[in-house]
Structure 1
Amino acid sequence: MNEEDLNEALHDVMVRSSPPPSMDPAHALDQARRARKRRTTVLAGAAAVTLVVGIGAGSVLVANYAGSRPAGQMVAGGPSTTQSGPTTQPVATPRPASTLVPPTTRKSGDPWPEGQVDRTATAGPRAVRAVTLMRDLTSAVPPGFSSPDLKYPDGSSMRWPQAQYASSDGEQDYWEYQAAIPVQQNDRVGRLLVQSTTPDGKPATTPCTMAQKFWGGTGTCAVMDVGGKKVGVLTTNGRGSYDQWAAYRYDDGTVVILAQAKMGAGPGRSPLTQPVFTPRQLAELVTSPKFKIST
């Protein structure tokens, strides 16, 4: 991160929160990472414009659409060229929808999608999905723990949802949904985070390689079998924002990450004495369908 990126990230945090920024390192790092990701490709351009191939009225279809070729002229009866004598208009055989509408790819200069002013969706269906994800994460908190509406020292909530357009320039459109909550036991507080990423068109990797991509996590990774599903569970070396997380990729390419940390409330609150979930519980929970968001 260069000086300009750091300034932008800090500015984003100040704009989003009217009180002074928190001095809690983990909280500041979380917000900086979220802000930086929203601005990763601002200089290169923004979201992609969906390509739609029209279907003409009557029995005549647009034929031979491929790549960036312009669509042929729509014909609603009658010949397409001026000729003497009768002519016969060929009718194209319909192609599967997957070939008519290829995956949208982000290009430099494109506007942000769906009327957004930046990567983050603050209203609409995507924002609602992120809020629902936060509620589902809260419902997964086991007995003996609670998830109150706690605040960081700067006054911002420890409970937050986020939906953001995650594609970089040249990549297929995809979205990333996150939700974080505090988890309290007696007077001690930790954190949970879930992230669901829609299919991005990239090839599958091993479960541990996938887990290691989450915020550049380093540590020890093990692959666990959950009813035939392979889950990567990474335990960090204690230097990251989270102590442990599980990663699972569905067959359609949706990726879900579930992370936990014993410390998460900043000064004035003690960390949990033990993780919220065991590694096995974490692996089982990350495969829960309620955390899967594929659109």
Structure 2
Amino acid sequence: MNENDLREALRATMTATRTPPPMASAAAVAAGRRAVHRRAWTGAGATAAVVAAVLVAGPLIAGGHGDTRSGGPVQAGGPPQPMPSAPATVTGTPPGAGAETKPSWPLDGDGQPQEDATARSGERYERGRQLLDELLAVVPKGYTKPEGTARDGIPLRDHQAAVEDHDSWGYLASAAVADGTGTGRLLAEVHTLGNGLPTDPCKLAAEFWGLGGDCHVVRVGAARVGVASASDADERINQWAAYRHPDGVVVYVAQSRTATNAEPGLAPLKKLPLSATDLAKLAVDRRFHLN
């Protein structure tokens, strides 16, 4: 497993178009296979996701400008170069009529159509930046928030926004956290209205990166939040919380003991920064409710 492999998995999660009905595991595998040619964003240890049926059609980040379902060629250690995903809309002659169809992307901040699913400026891009700011604001006391890049060029904090369907967007933010002995990572992923994700808390949690995991429900007031842990064999993400707001916006908050598997200079955290209850509370926190 290496960092660039997870880039593939992470961007695949954000740019793969979700096809109704909501993705179950089989549908996630299919969407992941469709996106396997795309390079992803950044993270830690995605070979398992790609080789083991490319599980990540479902969503989050782990260390770079990335979408949750969020490809193009990326040089090792270089910035992510998104590739087009399934188009938001398609124009052209119907199939079989001899003309190729081409995607029509939303307008970017410069008033021109985006190059692909990823926003590089404008309102949506800024919402991805806002998600990173909110994530940094909830780093627990006793932890620092490293900046810059690891020795392999992977950013230690980053954000991204990408269109997932005609009117649904995904925002993803990742930030390394350190306690003096090791470095791990916190992540937040938001899917806007029309995302098609499940309503059941644990089914919703299982959709996150196609990880499945061992889930239980944590109550935060009247809210029911799915909190899941990955198997010991899966090192991408250790624990995450999933909450679907009453209006349909979905929030995932996740944590990992590792910041990047490709960086030998960054020892992993000995323990996770947040408790299961902490994760659940953050998942329902209005600061992460972006649309």
Q: TM-score, normalised by structure 2?
A: 0.67
Same amino acid, percent of matched pairs: 32
Q: In 1, Cα distance between the equivalents of 2:142 and 2:35?
A: 41
Q: Pairwise mapping of residues 108-127 of structure 1 onto structure 2 (< 5 A)?
A: 109-114=102-107, 115-127=113-125
Please list the CA deviations of residues 12-63 of structure 1 after superposition, one character each: whole Å capped at 9, or x if unmatched.
Answer: 77xxxxxxx99x6359975797438x65744xxx2249xxxxxxxxxxxxxx
CA distance 1:27–1:144, change in 2 (3 Å): farther
Q: In 2, Cα distance between the equivalents of 1:235 and 1:163?
A: 26
Q: Does 1:212 align with 2:196?
A: no
Q: Does 1:185 align with 2:179?
A: yes
Task: Please tell me whether the aligned partners of residues 84 and 115 of structure 2 are also in contact (alpha carbons under 8 angstroms).
Answer: no
| Partner amino acid, structure 2, of 1:35 | G
Task: Please tell me whether the aligned partners of residues 149 and 155 of structure 2 are also in contact (alpha carbons under 8 angstroms).
Answer: yes
Task: Please tell me whether the aligned partners of residues 150 and 182 of structure 1 are also in contact (alpha carbons under 8 angstroms).
Answer: no
Match of 1:98 in 2: none
Q: In 1, Cα distance between the equivalents of 2:219 and 2:126?
A: 32
Deviation at 1:130, TM superposition (A): 0.6
CA distance 1:28–1:136, change in 2 (3 Å): farther
Give unpaired runs (5+ residues) of structure 2.
1-31, 50-61, 73-81, 91-100, 108-112
Partner of residue 275 from structure 1, selected from 253, 258, 272: 272
Q: Pairwise mapping of residues 93-242 of structure 1 onto structure 2 (< 5 A)?
A: 109-114=102-107, 115-167=113-165, 172-200=166-194, 202=196, 204-238=198-232, 239-242=234-237
Q: In 2, Cα distance between the equivalents of 1:201 and 1:215?
A: 15
Q: Pairwise mapping of residues 51-62 of structure 1 onto structure 2 (< 5 A)?
A: none
Please list the CA deviations of residues 218-272 of structure 1 after superposition, one character each: whole Å capped at 9, or x if unmatched.
Answer: 3210011101101000011031410000000011100000000011133112111
Q: Secondary structure at the match of 1:25?
A: coil
Give unpaired runs (5+ residues) of structure 1.
14-20, 50-107
CA RMSD of aligned residues (A): 2.9
Q: TM-score, normalised by structure 1?
A: 0.66
CA distance 1:203–1:236, change in 2 (3 Å): closer
Q: Secondary structure at the match of 1:283?
A: helix
Deviation at 1:5, TM superposition (A): 5.4
Q: In 2, Cα distance between the equivalents of 1:153 and 1:34?
A: 24
Task: Please tell me whether the aligned partners of residues 198 and 255 of structure 1 are also in contact (alpha carbons under 8 angstroms).
Answer: yes
Task: Please tell me whether the aligned partners of residues 26 and 264 of structure 1 are also in contact (alpha carbons under 8 angstroms).
Answer: no
